[in-house]
């Protein structure tokens, strides 16, 4: 009887199987591009050979403190070299990096340190006051290492100083990945709107694959120069902390998101790529003329977190940026889909191209699948009309929520990750988010997408930012309430003028009944706090 190939002794072994981990990206970059500039930070330059050595020393010091498989190392720092190096040194020990949002309050930071059981806590000196307040709330405190960054003299250095601490480390510490690629590499906390945030546990395999997917999606090459406008604490910088290194490209660190810093860095270092939330795009578009430094090349920008209105995309393109749009969540390592460029887009008008690019797109090559599904978890027709929930699955989905089995089980019900976002699928298979499930406005039995109304509001020449939520109404149940931030020096329109403008572009029942001019409240990651607006609107 002929034997099957599976009857042979062809199992995996050390020669043909190595667990995937992005740690290998740094080992390779240090070997292949030792003299290439890995990090630019102010006047400082760090080559890949130096970055590799620094991370090995860093890892050896962590190991000496007892950090090993599954131990959490927390970092509270802006986009500085130490934060980037932690993304390699911590997992080299088997440890888990927990990059903490720098805009959180002391109580939330204390919760994260306690819930994640952090054993070591790296703190940038500028953030020492909030870190100290958080530590004061803990009975069991982690070992603290202070980052004395040269680009700030604010605050104080807590604990042993980072540079002198790693200098005493072992430069020969082995660069090795995990024994199991399913081991945790990072612990990230969601910016929850109520209650404590959930701890999202991600693994080495997912980080490795998503980094590859991101590098391909945003066009990173060995010649790329990546500007860190996106916080590294946010989904580990959408895995670009690892993707840029994978290509041997250059990281340009940035302590503070400020157009007065961003434009000169783009021009000086010939920045090719950056990622940013829509709020950063708004800052760049409306930067004072004296802060804008022209540059002669194109810069690719991937935005996400909320669908950018078409006027924002058009304005960015007119300023020398080539726009891309991605969609994802902390639970899927950042972007899982991107609105990939299609032939013929360059021939479209800017407005038509912007409308296409406002879609959330299709899965990365390293993501398994993404579909819009109905309540029975059946894929809805690709007609740009049938609405359902975006469901995601693949190797770039989290392990689960730390110490929260109920939430994990609910998120993975039916074998898919439930995003909570409502959307449609177009005939070309591109996905488009229409709203968060909780943000849909139901007026007189009709569903109103707040994003559709916001899209119209952004076209008004006086509007800089807009958000629409449901307000209670005795007759209709709910009606749209628009909150608007006006452009600087804009002529202030009346509420009636805004309503009249909306009537020209929307069905009558979708037109906001109420309009409020105000600064929009935002979360620590720059997202508009619609739950706060709903409270103000009485929705």
447 membership: H or E segment, kind and range: strand 446-448
Instruction: Give me the percent of the chain exceeding a pLDDT of 90.
Output: 71
Burial of 210-238, coded b for 16+ CB within 10 Å and e otherwise, reads bbbbbbebbebeeebbbbbbbbbbbbbbb
- Helix, strand, coil in percent for the chain, rounding step 5: 35, 25, 40
Please state, in angstroms and rounded to a whole number, the distance separating the CA atoms of residues 237 and 231. 6
Q: Of the given ranges (27-31, 151-155, 261-265, 505-509), which has the lowest mean pLDDT?
A: 505-509
Tell me if the domain spanning 440-537 has CATH number 3.30.300.30.
yes
Tell me if the domain spanning 257-436 has CATH number 3.30.950.10.
no
Every domain of the chain with CATH number 3.30.300.30 lies at 440-537
* Packing angle, helices 450-457 and 495-503, rounded to 10: 110
Please state, in angstroms and rounded to a whole number, the distance separating the CA atoms of residues 266 and 441. 41
Q: What is the pLDDT of residues 1-50, one digit of tens each?
A: 567 888 788 888 989 999 999 999 999 999 999 999 999 999 999 999 99
Please state, in angstroms and rounded to a whole number, the distance separating the CA atoms of residues 266 and 301. 12
pLDDT given at position 121: 98
Cβ count within 10 A of residue 294: 9
The CA distances from residue 262 to 27, 152, 229, 291, in Å, are 30, 17, 8, 9
Higher pLDDT, 195 or 205: 205
Q: What is the pLDDT of residues 91-107, one digit of tens each?
A: 999 999 999 989 888 98
Tell me if the domain spanning 39-203 has CATH number 3.30.1330.60.
no
Every domain of the chain with CATH number 3.40.50.12780 lies at 257-436
pLDDT given at position 393: 96
Computed over every residue of the chain, the mean pLDDT equals: 92
Q: What is the pLDDT of residues 428-459, one digit of tens each?
A: 999 998 776 667 787 765 668 788 888 899 99
Does pLDDT of 306 surpass 70? Answer: no
pTM: 0.86
Every domain of the chain with CATH number 3.40.50.980 lies at 39-203
Please state, in angstroms and rounded to a whole number, the distance separating the CA atoms of residues 416 and 438. 20
């Amino acid at each position: 009887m002929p034997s099957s190939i599976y009857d042979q002794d062809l199992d995996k072994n050390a020669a043909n199987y190595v667990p995937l981990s992005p740690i290998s990206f740094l080992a390779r970059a240090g070997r292949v591009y030792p003299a290439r500039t890995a990090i630019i930070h102010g006047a400082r330059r760090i080559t890949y050979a130096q970055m590799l050595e620094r991370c090995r020393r860093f890892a050896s010091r962590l190991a000496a403190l007892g950090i090993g498989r599954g131990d959490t190392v927390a970092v509270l720092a802006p986009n500085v070299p130490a934060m980037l190096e932690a993304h390699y040194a911590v997992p080299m020990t088997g440890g888990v990096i927990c990059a903490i949002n720098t805009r959180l309050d002391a109580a939330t930071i204390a919760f994260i340190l306690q819930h994640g059981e952090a054993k070591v806590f790296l703190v940038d000196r500028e953030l020492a006051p909030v870190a100290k307040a958080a530590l004061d709330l803990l009975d069991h405190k982690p070992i603290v290492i202070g980052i004395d960054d040269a680009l700030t003299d604010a605050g104080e250095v807590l604990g042993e100083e980072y540079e002198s601490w790693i200098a005493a480390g072992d430069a020969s510490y082995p660069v090795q990945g995990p024994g199991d690629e399913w081991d945790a590499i990072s612990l990230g906390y969601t910016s929850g709107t109520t209650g404590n945030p959930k701890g999202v546990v991600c693994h080495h395999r997912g980080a490795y694959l998503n980094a590859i997917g991101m590098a391909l999606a945003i066009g990173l090459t060995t010649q790329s120069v990546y500007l860190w406008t996106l916080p590294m604490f946010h989904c580990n910088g959408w895995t670009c902390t690892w993707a840029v290194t994978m290509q041997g490209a250059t990281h340009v660190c940035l302590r503070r998101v400020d157009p007065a810093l961003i434009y000169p860095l783009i021009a000086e270092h010939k920045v090719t790529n950056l990622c940013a939330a829509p709020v950063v795009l708004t800052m760049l578009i409306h930067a004072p003329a004296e802060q804008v430094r022209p540059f002669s090349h194109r810069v690719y920008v991937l935005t996400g977190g909320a669908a950018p209105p078409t006027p924002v995309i058009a304005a960015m393109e007119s300023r020398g940026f080539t726009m891309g749009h991605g969609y994802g969540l902390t639970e899927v390592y950042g972007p899982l889909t991107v609105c990939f460029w299609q032939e013929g887009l360059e021939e479209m008008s800017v407005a038509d191209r912007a409308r296409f690019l406002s879609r959330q797109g299709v899965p990365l090559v390293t993501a398994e699948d993404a579909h819009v599904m109905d309540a029975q978890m059946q894929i809805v027709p690709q007609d740009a009309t049938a609405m359902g929930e975006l469901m995601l699955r693949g190797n770039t989905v989290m392990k689960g929520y730390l110490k929260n089995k109920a939430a994990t089980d609910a998120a993975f019900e039916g074998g898919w990750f439930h995003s909570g976002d409502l959307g449609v699928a177009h005939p070309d298979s591109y996905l488009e988010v229409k709203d968060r499930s909780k943000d849909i406005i139901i007026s007189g039995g009709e569903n109103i997408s707040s994003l559709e109304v916001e899209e119209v509001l952004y076209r008004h020449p006086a509007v800089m930012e807009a958000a629409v939520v449901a307000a209670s109404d005795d007759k209709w149940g709910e009606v749209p309430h628009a909150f608007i931030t006006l452009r600087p020096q804009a002529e202030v329109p009346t509420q009636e003028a805004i309503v009249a403008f909306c009537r020209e572009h929307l069905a009558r029942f979708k037109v906001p009944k109420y309009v409020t001019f105000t600064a929009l409240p935002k979360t620590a990651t720059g997202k508009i706090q619609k739950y706060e607006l709903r409270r103000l609107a009485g929705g």
